[in-house]
């Protein structure tokens, strides 16, 4: 049976079948070809979308803006200081107002419940641009990048190193389990994903031929991996006070030459970005001064190496987000 996502929200990968994810990846590949060949694809002229960001963003915001405009949509961006949402107006009321004006709503913020509520009340497709729990549009870009670089998804040995109980660790575990990859979270026990999600993913992996492993052992967790993936150690919305503890917990899970040498020779390095791989950012410089750590989740050498595909991955955010907008609004 054909896949039809018209009118659906895109809130988490758990809501989608492997066939639906496959459909979105294939659609993204088509849009990438159209963009590369300079072929216009304003298939959604007359539609309008609104982007709500309660947290900062470069890739997600720009991807939604460019994708929306390439498709011919009108695009409105609302930043944390320029809407009534949350302060003077409830999410339910905001959603019902925006649903009267826009054909689709992107939301980046804190709780997953909130984006689920937006979808419930607005009456139009809502796209999750990142919550504390999940980052589903990033998953499509990551799967597309893996497929482009390695030629397939099923059977790929994928290792996530770092804060495995946050939006990225959670989402990657779900995406890998759905699509038949072998997922390993290589992290300290304190930062393992929640038990219910691990169990859910293990069931999904049984169906897809993938697997889910949790380990604290870096050598075991990265051995013969096809993909080594990491994320920043302290995420948006977390207080500065957690830095010290997080550095203590995650220092040995840094992606460095030793880790990459333990993976397959042709392994790729991935990161959702932004990344603290040097001290050329305000926070990077502050952390270096305070804790004496010049490179955090990944060394500059690995980040800049031939194995690193982080900028291809970033570009794929736009093509995959375009697929999501089109598939749900067409
Ligand atoms: N990867 C990602 O979501 O980047 P931004 O925070 O810049 O949107
Ligand atoms: N875990 C990170 C992901 C950024 C794309 C954060 O939430 O800040």
Tell me the CA–centroid distance for residue 187 and ligand 1, in Å: 22
Short-list 170, 183, 172, 175, CA closest to 210: 183
Active site residues: 108, 135, 138, 231, 272, 317
Read out DSSP for 315-327? HHHHHHHHHHHHH
User: Which amino acid residue places its CA nearest to atom 7 of ligand 2?
Assistant: 235
Mean pLDDT of 199-218: 98
Tell me the CA–centroid distance for residue 53 and ligand 2, in Å: 13
Kindly identify the ligand whose nearest atom is closest to the C-alpha of 171.
Answer: 2
Average pLDDT over all residues of the chain: 96
Check pocket membership of 164 for ligand 2, CB cut-off 6 A: no
Using the atom order of ligand 1, give the atom closest to the CA of residue 135.
3
Dihedral angle, C-alpha 181, 113, 97, 328, nearest 10 °: 20
96 — pLDDT class (breaks 50, 70, 90): confident
Kindly identify the ligand whose nearest atom is closest to the C-alpha of 133.
Answer: 2
pLDDT tens by residue, 209-243: 999 999 999 999 999 999 999 999 999 999 999 99
Read out DSSP for 20-58? HHHHHHHHHHHHHHHHHTT----TTTT-EEEEEESS--S
Rounded CA-CA distance 304/299 in Å is 9
Q: Which of 61, 237, 273, 312 best tests ligand 1's pocket when mutated (most atoms within 8 Å of CB)?
A: 273
Mean pLDDT of 128-138: 98
Mean pLDDT of 115-128: 94
pLDDT of residue 93: 84
Mean pLDDT of 149-172: 98
Ramachandran angles phi, psi of 193, nearest 5°: -65, 160
Q: Which of 62, 109, 272 best tests ligand 1's pocket when mutated (most atoms within 8 Å of CB)?
A: 272
Dihedral angle, C-alpha 237, 239, 240, 243, nearest 10 °: -90
pLDDT tens by residue, 301-320: 999 999 999 999 999 999 99
Q: Which of 140, 169, 274, 312 best tests ligand 1's pocket when mutated (most atoms within 8 Å of CB)?
A: 274
Rounded CA-CA distance 297/235 in Å is 12
Tell me the CA–centroid distance for residue 315 and ligand 1, in Å: 11
Kindly identify the ligand whose nearest atom is closest to the C-alpha of 58.
Answer: 1
Mean pLDDT of 312-329: 98
Rounded CA-CA distance 317/144 in Å is 9
pLDDT of residue 22: 98
113 — pLDDT class (breaks 50, 70, 90): very high
Residue 244's CB is within 10 A of a number of other CB atoms, namely 12
Rounded CA-CA distance 321/68 in Å is 9
pLDDT of residue 90: 80
With a pLDDT cut of 90, the percent of the chain lying above it is: 93
pLDDT of residue 6: 98
CA distances from 285 to 197, 255, 290, 299, 302 (A): 35, 19, 9, 15, 19
Tell me the CA–centroid distance for residue 233 and ligand 2, in Å: 9
The structure's pTM equals 0.98
User: Which amino acid residue places its CA nearest to atom 7 of ligand 1?
Assistant: 58
Using the atom order of ligand 1, give the atom closest to the CA of residue 108.
8
Tell me the CA–centroid distance for residue 43 and ligand 2, in Å: 31
């Amino acid at each position: 049976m054909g896949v039809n996502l018209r009118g659906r929200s895109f809130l988490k990968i758990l809501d989608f079948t492997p066939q639906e994810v496959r459909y979105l990846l294939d659609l993204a590949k088509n849009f990438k070809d159209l963009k590369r060949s300079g072929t216009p694809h304003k298939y959604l002229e007359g539609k309008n979308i609104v982007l709500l960001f309660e947290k900062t963003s470069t890739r997600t915001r720009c991807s939604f803006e460019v994708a929306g405009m390439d498709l011919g949509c009108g695009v409105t961006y609302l930043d944390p200081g320029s809407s009534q949402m949350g302060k003077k107006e409830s999410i339910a009321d905001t959603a019902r107002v925006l649903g009267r004006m826009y054909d689709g709503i992107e939301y980046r913020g804190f709780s997953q419940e909130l984006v689920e509520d937006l979808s419930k009340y607005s009456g139009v497709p809502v796209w999750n641009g990142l919550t504390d729990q999940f980052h589903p549009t990033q998953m499509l870009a990551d799967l597309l990048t893996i497929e482009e670089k390695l030629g397939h998804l099923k059977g790929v040995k994928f290792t996530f190193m770092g804060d495995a109980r946050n939006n990225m660790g959670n989402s990657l575990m779900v995406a890998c389990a759905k699509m038949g990859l072998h997922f390993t979270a290589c992290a300290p026990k304190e930062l393992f994903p929640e038990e219910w999600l691990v169990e859910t993913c293990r069931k999904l992996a049984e169906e897809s031929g993938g697997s889910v492993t949790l380990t604290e052992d870096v050598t075991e967790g990265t051995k013969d991996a096809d993909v080594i993936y990491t994320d920043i150690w302290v995420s948006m919305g977390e207080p500065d006070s957690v830095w010290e503890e997080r550095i203590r917990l995650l220092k040995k899970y840094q992606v460095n030459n030793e880790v990459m040498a333990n993976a397959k020779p042709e392994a790729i390095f991935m990161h959702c970005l932004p990344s603290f791989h040097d001290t050329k950012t305000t926070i990077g410089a502050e952390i270096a001064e305070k804790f004496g750590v010049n490179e955090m989740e990944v060394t500059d050498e690995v980040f800049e190496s031939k194995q690193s595909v982080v900028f291809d991955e970033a570009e794929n955010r736009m093509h995959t987000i375009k697929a999501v907008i089109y598939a749900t609004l067409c």
